[in-house]
């Protein structure tokens, strides 16, 4: 998938698109079978799904590169990921099990039923991985700021350690469709430097839809959804370091119709986010160190998210016009009403051109946006110094004129123009190319002030208290804008016994205002016209071999260019993964997978430059696992 890359951060695994790796994933939209699962209060996509090590339930993954807000609203700023679950097992039971290096194991059961009016699919799986020792390189040599000191690599975390369970069911009966999910993931935050270095999310979700066909041209679809989202922070010392809960409700109504050469849709959506609730452990707090703060009523003195409800109302429309057999035109819009940042209109329009059966062309303009996360309005991170927007106008007086008042945060926006061409000279050979230009403005980043600027720092500003580090931090818009341009190429050949494919993605910073340098996405002006932590040239290739009916093999290659931080430049690398599968009969098969065949040890792109306390001042984190392998077996009956 060109135009997509995964970047490391101190306490997140960041999904990056077309040059931009954000501070967390709140600017990316995540769906399961078309149902949005994003949280509003802070992190965005569910970590228990995005970073799961349980993948057997997936049929395929759809990705939108670039903004998708016209379809899905705020949060779809950088891109959209939709996981489609397996649902085509007819009257079949499937058992899978796996073992591997460094304590990896997995087990799953699947059941499918399908007939003319009814289909059902159920999956439940568990998996765990002890992870690997963290190499003493790059960011891992930064000081550990927990109660025991030392360095990150020696603080007890392990690379990629995770414990995962996943249960889901899909049921379709006539025009009714029900999706149920429960996902539980606990993993090490192996780049982090404080005691809250393990993160757990338990997500429970249910959504029900009904499609009512008025006639063969018109239909109405209604969908309702509910999520209970629990977050728990742990220390590898065995302490609970925090937790919170968000509940979400949604209802959507969509009308679709056809008339002559027109196809159109219109709909409305209502979402309610109930933030700052107590989780299953009756907790809503966060602390950084396993010290006396854990004994000092943390749910009173260290609230993570203050209780607040946010409702978002949206309406949208889309029209598709078939001018003739070669030219199609489309136009769409969405309007979102938010209680804090107001109204936002998102348009999209463009056209498709099919000169013949071999060629296709697409030209499109669209925008995307993302407001500040809900905690910016609710308040929280008490003891960590978050300053909510309600108190922005009190800063100057509270600091005795040492710090000016802050202004309200506007939604971050991207304007995108894409030109795509596809060429299929033969049925088994295809090529695709995309040219894009994205203009980004009102970037939502962070600011801070504290005792390193002036003293004393006030203990309170309105209803917010200063952090234990003697300061305040806050969300803010970065002045200025910048423009990215890029090219994405794909090609694929599929023969009787072989499939070969590859892609190349290039992105460059074509223009930027002076104020945009040194911001969340761009390094300082002295570094040059580059993106922060995102490789600007990425090559991917895969080779699939089917020499016999029962045997197949695969190789996957990733090559990235050098990448940039505010400090030293990070180096590129080439990573190769492989697998081989063997089917004894129709019921039983086994797959051996090997990760990092060449044992590449280059430091991985990391969003921050080396810290002063790091003994190794190389840019990046040792986040590539050493060569590892696992064996999975599958039995269907």
Q: What is the mean pLDDT of residues 308-320?
A: 96
Residue 69: band (very low, low, confident or very high) from pLDDT cuts 50, 70, 90: confident
Return the pLDDT at 86. Answer: 84
> Distance (Å, rounded) from C-alpha 42 to C-alpha 32?
19
Region of 520 please: left (phi>0), alpha (psi -120 to 50) or beta.
Answer: alpha
> Distance (Å, rounded) from C-alpha 501 to C-alpha 62?
18
Beta carbons of 318 and 329 less than 8 angstroms apart: no
Mean pLDDT rounded to a whole number for the chain: 95
Return the pLDDT at 201. Answer: 97
Of the listed ranges 69-78, 374-383, 506-515, the least confidently predicted one is 69-78
Return the pLDDT at 460. Answer: 96
β-pairing, 79-85 vs 28-32, is parallel
Q: Tokens 């039983």 — which residue?
A: 588
Region of 563 please: left (phi>0), alpha (psi -120 to 50) or beta.
Answer: beta
Say yes or no to pLDDT of 263 above 70.
yes
* Percentage, residues of the chain above pLDDT 70: 100
Question: What b-and-e string marks burial along 88-114, b requiring 16 or more CB atoms within 10 Å of the CB?
Answer: ebeeeebebebebbbebebbbbbebeb
> Distance (Å, rounded) from C-alpha 478 to C-alpha 476?
6
pLDDT digit string, tens, across residues 507-531: 999 999 999 999 899 999 999 999 9
Chain centroid, CA 560 distance in Å: 20
pLDDT digit string, tens, across residues 83-119: 999 876 677 899 999 999 999 999 999 999 888 888 8
pLDDT digit string, tens, across residues 342-354: 999 999 999 999 9
Return the pLDDT at 507. Answer: 98
CATH of domain 4-636: 2.40.170.20
Q: Which class for 548: exposed (0-12), middle (13-18), buried (19 or more C-beta within 10 A)?
A: exposed
Return the pLDDT at 304. Answer: 97
> Distance (Å, rounded) from C-alpha 284 to C-alpha 242?
7
> Distance (Å, rounded) from C-alpha 313 to C-alpha 319?
21
Listed as own residue / partner, the contacts of 335-343 with beta carbons closer than 8 Å and 24 or more positions apart are 336/73, 336/74, 336/312, 337/312, 337/313, 338/74, 338/310, 338/312, 338/371, 339/310, 339/311, 339/312, 340/310, 340/371, 340/377, 340/389, 341/371, 341/372, 341/408, 341/409, 341/410, 341/411
Say yes or no to pLDDT of 28 above 80.
yes
CA neighbor of 623 nearest in space, from 29, 139, 129: 139
Q: What is the mean pLDDT of residues 251-269?
A: 96
Sheet strands (E) in 279-403: 285-286, 308-322, 327-338, 342-353, 359-370
Q: What is the mean pLDDT of residues 436-444?
A: 97
Beta carbons of 27 and 44 less than 8 angstroms apart: yes
Return the pLDDT at 487. Answer: 98
C-alpha separations of 526 from 522, 530, 534, 536 in Å: 11, 10, 17, 18
> Distance (Å, rounded) from C-alpha 451 to C-alpha 472?
10
What does the domain layout of the chain look like in residue ranges? 4-636
| The token pair that represents 322 in the structure block | 């078939």
pLDDT digit string, tens, across residues 155-202: 999 999 999 999 999 999 999 999 999 999 999 999 999 999 999 999
**What pairs with residue 264 in β-bridges?**
257, 319
Q: What is the mean pLDDT of residues 452-481?
A: 95
pLDDT digit string, tens, across residues 274-285: 999 999 999 999
pLDDT digit string, tens, across residues 536-587: 999 999 999 999 889 999 999 999 999 999 999 999 999 999 999 999 998 9
* Percentage, residues of the chain above pLDDT 90: 91
């Amino acid at each position: 998938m060109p135009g997509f890359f995964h970047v490391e951060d101190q306490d997140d695994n960041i999904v990056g698109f077309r040059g931009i790796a954000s501070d967390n994933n709140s600017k990316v939209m995540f769906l399961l079978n078309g149902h949005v699962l994003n949280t509003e209060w802070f992190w965005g996509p569910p970590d228990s799904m995005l970073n799961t090590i349980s993948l057997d339930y997936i049929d395929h993954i759809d990705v939108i590169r670039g903004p998708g807000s016209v379809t899905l609203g705020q949060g779809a700023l950088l891109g959209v990921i939709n996981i489609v679950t397996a649902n085509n097992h007819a009257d079949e039971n499937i058992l899978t099990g796996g073992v591997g290096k460094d304590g990896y194991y997995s087990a799953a059961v699947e059941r499918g039923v399908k007939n003319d009016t009814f289909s059902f699919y159920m999956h439940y799986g568990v998996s765990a991985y002890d992870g690997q020792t963290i190499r003493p390189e790059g960011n891992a040599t930064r000081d550990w700021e927990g109660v025991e000191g030392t360095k990150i690599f020696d603080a007890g975390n392990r690379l990629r350690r995770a414990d995962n369970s996943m249960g889901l069911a899909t049921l379709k009966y006539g025009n009714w469709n029900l999706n149920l999910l429960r996902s539980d993931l606990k993993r090490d935050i192996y780049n982090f430097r404080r005691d809250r270095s393990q993160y757990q999310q338990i997500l429970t979700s249910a959504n029900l839809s009904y499609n009512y066909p008025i006639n063969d041209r018109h239909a109405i679809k209604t969908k309702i959804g509910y999520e209970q989202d629990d977050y728990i922070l742990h220390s590898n010392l065995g302490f609970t370091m925090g937790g919170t809960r968000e509940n979400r409700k949604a209802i959507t109504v969509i009308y679709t119709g056809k008339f002559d050469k027109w196809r159109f849709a219109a709909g409305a959506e209502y979402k309610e986010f109930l933030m700052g609730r107590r989780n299953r452990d009756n907790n809503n707090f966060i602390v950084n160190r396993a010290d006396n703060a854990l004994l000092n009523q943390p749910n009173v003195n260290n609230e993570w998210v203050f209780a607040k409800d946010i409702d978002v109302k949206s309406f949208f429309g889309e029209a598709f016009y078939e001018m003739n057999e070669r030219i199609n035109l489309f136009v769409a819009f969405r309007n979102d009403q938010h209680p804090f940042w107001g109204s936002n209109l998102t348009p999209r329009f463009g056209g498709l051109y099919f000169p013949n059966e071999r060629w296709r062309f697409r030209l499109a303009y669209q925008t995307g946006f993302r407001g500040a996360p809900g905690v910016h309005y609710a308040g929280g991170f008490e003891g960590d110094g978050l300053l909510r927007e309600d108190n922005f106008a009190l800063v100057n007086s509270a600091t005795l004129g040492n710090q000016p008042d802050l202004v309200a945060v506007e939604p971050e926006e991207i304007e995108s123009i894409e030109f795509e061409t596809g060429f299929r000279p033969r049925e088994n050979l295809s090529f695709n190319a995309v040219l894009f230009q994205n203009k980004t403005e009102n970037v939502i980043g962070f600011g801070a002030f504290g005792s390193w600027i002036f003293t004393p720092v006030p203990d309170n500003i309105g209803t917010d208290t200063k952090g234990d580090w003697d300061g305040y931090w806050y969300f803010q818009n970065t002045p200025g804008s910048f423009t990215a341009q890029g090219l994405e190429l794909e090609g694929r050949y599929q023969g009787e016994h072989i499939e070969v494919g590859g892609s190349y993605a290039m992105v460059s910073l074509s223009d930027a205002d002076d104020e945009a340098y040194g911001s969340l996405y761009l390094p300082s002006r002295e570094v040059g016209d580059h993106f922060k932590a995102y490789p600007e040239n990425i090559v991917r290739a895969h080779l699939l071999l089917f020499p016999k009916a029962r045997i197949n093999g695969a190789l996957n290659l990733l090559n990235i260019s050098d990448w940039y931080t505010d400090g030293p430049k990070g180096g590129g690398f080439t990573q190769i993964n492989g697998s081989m599968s063997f089917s004894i009969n129709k019921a039983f098969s086994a797959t051996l997978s090997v990760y990092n065949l060449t044992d590449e040890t280059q430091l991985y792109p990391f969003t921050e430059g080396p810290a002063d306390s790091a003994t190794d001042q190389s840019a990046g984190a040792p986040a590539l696992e050493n060569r590892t392998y696992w064996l999975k077996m599958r039995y269907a009956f």
